[in-house]
Amino acid sequence: MAAQLNTLLRAAYEHVCPVAPVAGAVSAVRRSVAAVLAEWSVSPAIVEDALLVVSELVTNAIMHACPPAVLRLSWVPGDGARIEVTDAGPALPVGQLLAGTDPDEHGRGQTIVHALATRHGIRVHAGGVTRWADLAAD
């Protein structure tokens, strides 16, 4: 019985959101995440950091990877949040930008994620690439 309750509670604190490869996708995903975090009563400081990390990871998936992409958000009260964005892998060779992309406007995402996350990383797997970041609870 305790295991079933644990599973139900854990499921209540997970959110999965597809990332459309279109203009406006980042703001749509941010709005979705903000609503979910508010529903979960996550502190405003963590919400602010989470939204910045979401923006960076989702932008990376849209700009540099092949679709489809999906965001997975999980929250463990007292522990923190995990933000994961999984995509189908690189669209271009590493270091090459899409045509029309201003290099002065990009390249800071990893620095932002590194500054805000307690841990972060990249997993390469058969389905593509997952970039993840953990944010500690207050």
Given a contact cutoff of 8 angstroms between Cβ atoms, the answer to whether 129 and 122 are in contact is yes
Q: How far apart are CA 71 and CA 81, in angstroms?
A: 13
Radius of gyration of the chain from its Cα atoms, rounded to whole angstroms? 15
pLDDT tens digits for range 51-81: 999 999 999 999 888 999 999 999 998 889 9
Residue with tokens 């992409």: 69
Residue 54 lies in a domain: yes
Three-point CA angle 74, 48, 10, nearest 5°: 15
Residue with tokens 């958000």: 73
Residue 55 lies in a domain: yes
Domain count, the chain: 1
Q: Is pLDDT above 70 for 134?
A: yes
Residue 2 lies in a domain: no
Which pTM was predicted? 0.81
Q: Is pLDDT above 80 for 99?
A: no
Residue 79: give its domain's CATH number: 3.30.565.10
For residue 42, which phi and psi values (nearest 5 degrees)? Answer: -75, 140
Residue 97 lies in a domain: no
User: Which residues sit opposite 81 in a β-bridge?
Assistant: 75, 135
Q: How far apart are CA 106 and CA 60, in angstroms?
A: 9
Given a contact cutoff of 8 angstroms between Cβ atoms, the answer to whether 112 and 56 are in contact is yes
Range of the domain at 70: 12-90+103-136
Q: Is pLDDT above 70 for 11?
A: no
